[in-house]
Structure 1
Amino acid sequence: MTKKVVLITGANKGIGYEVARQLADNGFIVLLGARDPERGEAAAKKLRTGSSDVHFVPLNTIDEQSIQSAAEMVTKKWEKVDVLVNNAGIFPEYSLGIRPSLLEVSMLKDTFETNVFGSFGVIHYFLPLLKKAVVGQIVNVSSTLGSLGSMTNPDSMYSETNTSAYNASKSALNALTVALAKDLLPEQIRINSICPGWVQTDLGTDAAPRTVEQGATIIVKLAMMEHPPTGKFLDDDGEIPW
């Protein structure tokens, strides 16, 4: 198979959908991961109207059996994955304005379940497929809100968003990126964290200054690189402090 295969989690809307659209337009076989079958298939069908090679893959990132089943499906039909985009994420505390010290333990657990454990689970089960690519690549959709350097810098716009569960989950995701970048380097698998910026999505709300097209830019750029970097934390302007 000469065409590159990309799997995107949480891709039935928002940034994930826009990444799927752009990569489909650039000749990728796009596997659109989503937990809701009706919405996932509808999103894939909409993208296929342009004769794009887009396919819905049922994938609930907080259900290990769902991840494993998705990996088995992709193995049978496409045999490899060149690029994995861990896009699925939640930020429930944002709209509620919860002070870090008053956060319910259950919300902390739920946020880590999706943003950290779910992302790692997808990597774990899809790693054999990434190893079949000439150069496998993982893009973890993180946030500068997970940057300890930015959170502690009073001049950073991100230091003002003092939420605990989401920020901590993205810091943890970044730590996984660093560890896996070191571990997978001999196997020609590249992994990076990226920040799409504050984007107009259900998660980012309409108050965000960036469009989904702008948010997708750094992900699409990395996915299309023949020789991507590894172990980096990046946005449109370059490297972000860890």
Structure 2
Amino acid sequence: MNEKTIALITGANKGIGYEIAAGLGALGYSVGVGARDEKRGTDAVDRLRSAGADAFLVPLNVTDDASTAAAVRLIEERAGRLNVLVNNAGIAEGWPDNPTSLDLDVVRRLVETNVIGVMRVTNAMLPLLRRSAHPRIVNQSSQVASLTFQTTPGMERGGISGGYTPTKTYLNAVTIQYAKELQGTGILINLSCPGYVATDLNGFQGTLTPAQGAVTAIRLATLPDDGPSGGLFEADGVVPW
């Protein structure tokens, strides 16, 4: 890319999001560190800058309209466009979360962050993405969201989940619809499955490092213009729906 590339990664102050920011920063991208907690976001920016990245803080709560609008204004004032949006921010409320006993308020919080939050930020950032030469959107999904994995004996990923897992399946479905609507615009939008990564989302029980979990998102964020759109990917290739 000839122009300076600007990326926004939500939930980038720690874990996989931080490693995505670090990876894109190492490639020369100017990386916006989206973070609800400004102090943690500032600390992450300082660490990224110490490693040589061009990083800047974007205070952002993906569940809040005003916060999202402020993030748009910040990026517009800084760069006038956005090349890459990585919707990484997400929450889980613990396992097991059996659907028969799950608090429905928990379900609402999960959907608000993991699905509606992605849609809110994506829709708000689209005007800035349309101004860039090679716009890319990456939505952070999960292997547990695959209905094939969930329904094929011997391929199950994770335990019973009436909350977190279905929100990622919902995100998969809505991302397909974005890809259909954005076809022909040059905006490529895909889903990244990081694998079982040790983060606070799972109590650090995962078997992969956050850096390993960031690999697929970084690849999708840097796709060539003839790359795929509307796909579900992991490090080893395509994930079955």
Q: Which amino acid aligns with 1:174?
A: N
1:50: which partner in 2?
A: 51
CA displacement 1:120-164 (0-9 Å, x = unmatched): 000010000110111211100001211111111121141x42101
User: Which amino acid in the other structure matches residue 235 of structure 1?
Assistant: E
1:174 equivalent in alignment to 2:169: no
State the TM-score, normalized to the length of structure 2. 0.96
Question: What is the distance in 2 between the residues matched to 1:138 and 1:23?
Answer: 14
Q: Determine the structure 2 residue equivalent to 1:144.
A: 143
Partners of 1:25 and 1:165 lie apart in 2 by 35
> Structure 1 residue 206: deviation in Å?
2.5
> CA–CA distance in 1 between the matches of 2:115 and 2:100?
21
Structure 1, gaps ≥5 residues long: none
Equivalent in the alignment of 2:88: 87
**Which residue number in structure 2 is paired with residue 12 of structure 1?**
13
Q: Could you tell me the percent identity over the aligned residues?
A: 39
1:62–1:118: 8 Å Cα contact kept in structure 2?
yes
- 1:80-111 per-residue CA deviation (whole Å, 9 max, x = no partner) reads 111100000011132xx332210011000000
Q: What's 1:76 paired with?
A: 77
Structure 1 counterpart of 2:130: 131
Amino acid at match of 2:144: L
What displacement does 1:213 show?
1.2
Quote the Cα distance in structure 2 between the aligned partners of 1:150 and 1:64. Answer: 35
Q: Deviations over 1:154-212 (max 9, x none)?
A: 21141x42101111100110111100001001211110111100101101333211111
Q: Which of residues 192, 195, 198 in structure 1 aligns to 2:193?
A: 195
C-alpha distance in structure 2 between counterparts of 1:155 and 1:205, whole Å:
25
Counterpart among 201, 211, 214 of residue 213 in structure 1: 211
Which whole-Å CA distance do the structure 1 matches of 2:170 and 2:188 have between them?
A: 18
Residues 45-90 of structure 1 deviation map (CA, whole Å, 9 limit, x = unaligned): 1111133210000100011110011011111111111110000001
Bigger shift: residues 8-17 or 133-142: 133-142
Kindly indicate whether the alpha-carbon contact (under 8 Å) linking 1:33 and 1:56 is maintained by their aligned counterparts in 2. yes
Q: Aligned letter for 2:41?
A: G
Supply the distance in 2 between the matched residues of 1:50 and 1:163 (Cα, whole angstroms): 38
Query: 2:141 & 2:234 partners in 1: Cα distance?
Result: 10
**Preserved CA contact (<8 Å) 2:10 2:17:** yes
Using the alignment, how far apart are the partners of 1:50 and 1:151 within structure 2? 40
Q: Tell me the secondary structure at the aligned position of residue 99 of structure 1.
A: coil
CA-atom RMSD, angstroms? 1.2
Matched AA of 1:229: P
Alignment coverage as a number of residue pairs: 239
Q: Does the alignment pair 1:164 with 2:165? A: no
**Given residue 186 of structure 2, which amino acid in structure 1 is its aligned partner?**
Q
Which position in structure 2 is the counterpart of 1:237?
A: 236
Q: TM-score, normalised by structure 1?
A: 0.95
CA distance in 2: counterparts of 1:34 and 1:106, whole angstroms: 23
Deviating above 6 A after TM superposition, structure 1's stretches of 4 or more consecutive aligned residues are none
* 1:185 aligned residue: 183
